[in-house]
Structure 1
Amino acid sequence: MSPLASGPQGPTTLRPLLTTVLDALTAGAATRDGPLPAGGPTEVAARLREALGDPLPEHGDEDALRTLVQALAAGAADPGDPLCTAHLHCPPLAVATAADLAASVLNPSLDSWDQAPAASELEALVTRALAAEVYGETGQARSAGDALVTTGGTESNQLALLLAREHHGHTQLVCAENAHHSLRRATWLLGLPEPVTVPAPAGTMDPAALGEALTALPGPLLVAATAGTTDAGLIDPLPDIAALCETHGARLHIDAAYGGGLLFSDRHRPKLDGLARAHTVTLDLHKLGWQPIAAGLLAVRDRHDLAALAHHADYLNADDDTEAGLPDLLGRSLRTTRRPDILKIAVTLKTLGRTGLGDLVDQVCARATEFAELIHRHPHFELHDRPTISTVLFRPTGATDDTVAAVRRTLLTEGRAVLGRARLDDRLWLKATLLNPHTGADDLAALLKLVEGHTPR
């Protein structure tokens, strides 16, 4: 009989398996020997198919755990490698990953209290603390705010639009050209009108254009601003946008999936001035929070807005049970079965504290500034602009867009470096998103040298 991970024998069963997993991770990383596997999609797929064999064999293979973990590690893009910088894809903290293992072992499901007694209380405490971090720790805002745990920015943004629709009716979304694609998809999913898009001439929303749009459009209106764009890590002028929304009676949502982590840094928190004036805020701690995926949140200024999510299923939240004091969890998400992602977040917050997390934020922002300076001084590279958070855009001087794209793909195929791409100012740029606090000056220099060496002259 196959052993279980939970129950009295769980720890005894898991210990040797954890050794197998750790050894396989080490062996796979050694095989890869870089930030991602060499060979491109065809070769990587062939190696994985060979390791997997028959996905559902007639008889089991006791070595499957080692084989498949090693194959996955050998074929992974490792966000802990300093040359893996393409996306908002962070290397997770060891303590958060260990907590995630505990969550998997205990396997609470946050759709009813009797499946997750302690986890439901932990989620309530930690989400309200994070809402207080967004909206302030004193006064009425502290008692009124709350947050929901989500799978990431996409779900958080969709929930924000849903709450606006339920609060105001058939809401018109107004956003800038720099807004995340999930907002437009959410209007489609929710049956809302096509968004009205205002210009972002310098990569951020133009307040004057927003003011004109709010004056011309009939209500109800929802403005979505961005604190940390995906392409360049830019932050919209939040105080100006909040003031316009208040003047015109528009609801405000701020997508801070990337930039929300700046809240933990005394040095960088002022960049988020105006955040607390939003009705809803998207946060994503598997970016500038160093959590294993998923660790998204939607903070709400007024927890009464969450009443729109109320839902009844007698086997999960019967009226007599809730009247007797059993917490009703169905209004905490659009999902039913939900794993306790709050545990790894809680462990991280408690282990590092605001100061520890703030130090990590400061480190990656400092590395981005150093990298930008290195590019600025280099005779063969062009810098797009100084970083706002930890994203740096650059390109080889004089290169065509086709060359920029080809250099990126070559480095990917060789498994040498993982760089992103962004089109701004009608040109294609290489994108480095620095989320690894262990990245050093030598790593940054090596990354530039790789790009230079692969650029035709």
Structure 2
Amino acid sequence: MRSHLLNGLTAEHYRRSVTEGVERVAAKLATTDRPFTGVTVDALSPRIDAIDLDRPLGDTAAVLDELEDVYLRDAVYFHHPRYLAHLNCPVVIPAVLGEAVLSAVNSSLDTWDQSAGGTLIERRLVDWTAARIGLGPAADGVFTSGGTQSNLQALLLAREEAKSDSLAELRILTSEVSHFSVQKSAKLLGLGPDAVVAIPVDHDKRMQTVALAHELERCTKDGLVPMAVVATAGSTDFGSIDPLPEIAELCARHGVWLHVDAAYGCGLLASLRYRDRIDGIERADSVTVDYHKSFFQPVSSSAVLVRDAATLRHATYHAEYLNPRRMVQERIPNQVDKSLQTTRRFDALKLWLTLRTMGADGIGQLFDEVCDLAREGWKLLAADPRYDVVVEPSLSTLVFRYIPAAVTAPAEIDRANLHARKALFASGDAVVAGTKVAGRQYLKFTLLNPETTTADIAAVLDLIAGHAEQYLGVSLDRAS
């Protein structure tokens, strides 16, 4: 069994095995003609359940043959131009190379004596991102597993910085379309069920600053403590960006921590043409970024940044076996001092190799392309009498609803849209997302693939309409 341990004696075995795996994936990518096969849970589960994990195959080729049957054949492929569903981007090759390197070396980014150069690379990328945001010379941060963890850590820091002796008094103010992780974080932080206050949004799904100002004043009047305002730079459903300068001004006036959730909108930090859409982000106390959403990185690659490095002390604990206090005086850089995680992958390497190969402008050009695509898609939807589109895109998301000419019952239209999404997924021809707007069922394109074209969008709209019309035809036949 030692022949399977990766070391100097097995380097050739490692090379052959990984090469064989890469060749299988490359062949699959080259021949995949749709984003999904349409396989069902009931069809796939028995194949996986039948595998006896206590009887290994022993041979790499046999294992990869089996993997083809239980995973590669039926995976959902984000690289396909008609995958239009969630915030999953196709990935760039330098980042995939980084994934291979970091997995093999297997550095753990909690302490210097487990990572050395990895620690310094992550710190350099944190500094680079903070500079792109404009947080100032005292900024710092750490890589995380994703936006949910980043938001949790930012709100932990905000809670500890808040001047209150009672958790029951604390309030988090955020827009009604912000990410669900804000509510989840409040619960994990021990706050009460009323802790998160939803601020109404305008027609463009942006936080209403008048309503925010009113709520901040109400908190003061009622003896409550607004521990944080969470502004969104790229909402999950709409890609909407809150008015960051006005929100920052209100937070400064009331002495409230401003957190900007830019998990999606962080791609604008590299944009060549649309960076001004997140002006005001430089005034934040903390910022969430997800490189694996809009920097074309594999999951996971994310970070939380803070304006004042000193606030990260609220996540610091010292263990004698790992990061004793003396190491601080010895200026040994242990990233665990800043992180909610202990053992942590060297995910920063993927972004490092991407920047060193493509440059920030290369990333920005790709993100600008999907923003441009969303604008063209919006024009298609706005001109198509079959569809109602909710808002003009600020980033690369389109939310819309099929409206049949012969049906007026909202509930029946809801069912037609829901059926169309499910039928499209089952066909494997395309994958789209869904959401609700004002209680009604809508569909969603999340456009993160520069290879997607307006022709792809038009074709998928026709497929959606066809599935919806088929459902309504069957429904009307049954009714008659």
Under TM normalisation by the shorter chain, which class is it? over 0.9
CA contact under 8 A between 2:420 and 2:465: conserved in structure 1? no
- Quick one: which amino acid aligns to residue 262 of structure 2? A
Residue deviations 1:162-216, cap 9 Å, x none?
0011112444211121111001010100112321222124222111111111001
Cα pair 2:142 2:335 within 8 Å, conserved: no
Partner residue, 2:444: 431
Matches within 5 A, 1:38-437: 38-49=38-49, 53-57=51-55, 60=58, 62=60, 63-68=62-67, 71-135=70-134, 141=136, 143-168=137-162, 169=164, 170=167, 171-193=170-192, 194-202=195-203, 203-217=205-219, 218-398=224-404, 400-437=413-450
- 2:145 touches 2:302 (CA, 8 Å); kept in 1? yes
Q: Which position in structure 2 is the counterpart of 1:34? A: 34
Counterpart residue identity of residue 211, structure 1: A
Identity of aligned residues (%): 37
CA contact (8 A) 1:175 1:196 kept: yes
Task: Give CA deviations for 1:226-266 in whole Å, capped at 9, x if unaligned.
Answer: 11111111111111111111111111111110011111113
How far did 1:45 drift? 2.6
Cα gap change, 1:6/1:295 in structure 2, threshold over 3 Å: closer, same or farther? same
Task: Single out whichever of 170-179 and 306-315 deviates more from structure 2.
Answer: 170-179
Q: Does 5-14 or 425-434 show the bigger shift?
A: 5-14
The answer to whether the 8 Å contact 2:176/2:199 transfers is yes
1:16 deviation in Å?
Answer: 1.6
- For residue 148 of structure 1, give the secondary structure of its aligned residue in structure 2: strand
1:110 is paired with a residue whose SS is coil
- Taking the aligned partners of 2:462 and 2:455, their CA distance within structure 1 comes to 10
Equivalent-residue separation in structure 2 for 1:88 and 1:161 (angstroms) = 23
| Whole-angstrom CA distance in 2 between matches of 1:114 and 1:191 | 34
Residue of structure 1 equivalent to 2:19? 19
Provide closer, same or farther for how the CA distance between residues 108 and 290 of structure 1 changes in structure 2, counting only shifts above 3 A: same
CA distance in 2, matches of 1:58, 1:429: 46
Q: Which runs of 5+ in 1 are unaligned?
A: none
Instruction: Please tell me whether the aligned partners of residues 369 and 387 of structure 1 are also in contact (alpha carbons under 8 angstroms).
Output: yes
| Conserved? CA contact 1:134–1:299, under 8 Å | no
Bigger mean CA deviation after superposition, 383-392 or 335-344: 383-392
Matches of 1:125 and 1:32 in 2, distance apart?
A: 38
1:110-132 Cα deviation digits (max 9, x unpaired): 12211111101111111111111
Distance 2:57 2:427 in 1: 37
The one-letter code sitting in structure 1 at the alignment partner of 2:15 is: R
CA shift at 1:135, angstroms?
1.8
Alpha-carbon offset, residue 315 of structure 1? 1.2
Structure 2 contact 313–338 (Cα < 8 Å) conserved: no
1:325-366 CA-to-partner distances (Å, cap 9, x unmatched) read 432332121111111001001111222222111101111111
**Equivalent pair of 1:312/1:330 in contact (CA under 8 Å):** no
The AA in structure 2 aligned to 1:206 is Q
Contact 1:394 1:429 in 2 (8 A): yes
Give the stretch that moved more between structures: 344-353 or 250-259: 344-353
Q: How many aligned positions are there?
A: 450
Q: Which amino acid aligns with 1:215?
A: E
Q: 1:23 to 1:330 in 2, by over 3 A?
A: closer
Q: Deviations over 1:41-90 (max 9, x none)?
A: 2223334445xx11232774542244225531212111101111110011
User: Aligned equivalents of 1:231 and 1:435: distance in 2?
Assistant: 14
Q: Measure how far apart 1:368 and its partner are.
A: 1.0
Q: Deviations over 1:360-385 (max 9, x none)?
A: 11111111111111222233223222
Secondary structure of the corresponding residue to residue 98 of structure 1:
helix
CA distance in 2 between partners of 1:267 and 1:74 (Å): 39
- Mapped to 1, the partners of 2:83 and 2:72 lie a distance apart of 14
**Cα shift at 1:438:** 1.4
Preserved contact between residue 48 and residue 72 of structure 1 (Cα < 8 Å):
no
Question: For 2:258 and 2:390, how far apart are their aligned partners in 1?
Answer: 30
Residues of 2 paired with 1:445 and 1:296: CA distance?
33
Q: In the aligned structure 2, how far is the partner of 1:80 from the partner of 1:70?
A: 20
The letter for the 2-side match of 1:424 is: V
Distance 1:210 1:229 in 2: 17
TM-aligned CA deviation for residue 27 of structure 1: 5.8
Cα distance in 2 for partners of 1:29, 1:124 equals 34
Q: 1:86 to 1:323 in 2, by over 3 A?
A: same
User: Which deviates more, 21-30 or 257-266?
Assistant: 21-30
Matched residue SS, 1:124: helix
In 1, the alpha carbon distance for the partners of 2:47 and 2:378 equals 37
Report deviation, 1:275.
0.6
Amino acid at match of 2:34: G
Using the size of structure 1 for normalisation, the TM-score is 0.93
